Amino acid sequence: MTRKNFQFRIALAATATLLLSSPAYAQNTAPAASEPAFSPGFSFVEKSGEDLFANVCRGCHMSDGKGATGAGTYPSLAGNGNLESSGYPVGVVVNGQRGMPPFGAMMSDDQIAAVVNYVRTHFGNSYRDTVTAEDVRAVRR
Partner 1 sequence: MQSEPVTVSRRDLLSLIGAFSGSAAMYHAMTSLGFASDSGYKGPIKLEGDPNGASVLILGAGLAGMTAALELRKAGYRVQILEFNSRPGGRNWTLRGGDSFTELGGVTQTCEFEQGLYLNPGPWRIPYHHRAVLDYCRRLGVALEPFIQLNHNAFLHAAGAFGGAPQRVHDIKTDFQGQVSELLAKAALQGKLDEAVTKDDREILLQALRSWGALDRNYAYKANLVSADVRGYVKEPGGGLGAAPIPGEPINLSDILKSRLWRYLQNFARHNFQTTMFQPVGGMDMIGKAFAGQVGDVIRYDAKVTRIQQDDQGVTVTYTDLKAPASPQLAKADWCVCTIPLPILSQLPINVSGRMKAAIDAVPYSSSVKIGLQFKRRFWEEDEAIYGGISYTDLPIQQIAYPNTGYNRAGKGVLLGAYMFGPNAFEFTSMPPAERIARAVEFGAAIHPQYRAEYENGVAVAWHRMPFTLGCAGDWSEQARAEHYDNLCQIDGRIVLAGEHASYIPAWQEGAILSSLDAITRLHDRVVKK
Chain positions contacting partner 1, by CB under 8 A: 1-8, 10, 12-13, 15-20, 22-25, 28-30, 32, 36-45, 54-60, 62, 68-74, 96-102, 104-106, 140-141
Minimum distance from residue 104 beta carbon to partner 1 (Å): 5
Half-sphere exposure of 10 (CA within 13 A, CB side): 12
Q: Where does residue 72 rank: exposed (0-12), middle (13-18), buried (19+ CB within 10 A)?
A: exposed
45/133 with CB nearer partner 1: 45
Minimum distance from residue 78 beta carbon to partner 1 (Å): 15
Pairing mode, strands 73-74 and 68-69: antiparallel
Minimum distance from residue 128 beta carbon to partner 1 (Å): 28
100/133 with CB nearer partner 1: 100
d(CA 16, CA 10): 13
Minimum distance from residue 140 beta carbon to partner 1 (Å): 6
78/100 with CB nearer partner 1: 100
118 contacts 49 by C-beta, under 8 angstroms? yes
6 contacts 41 by C-beta, under 8 angstroms? yes
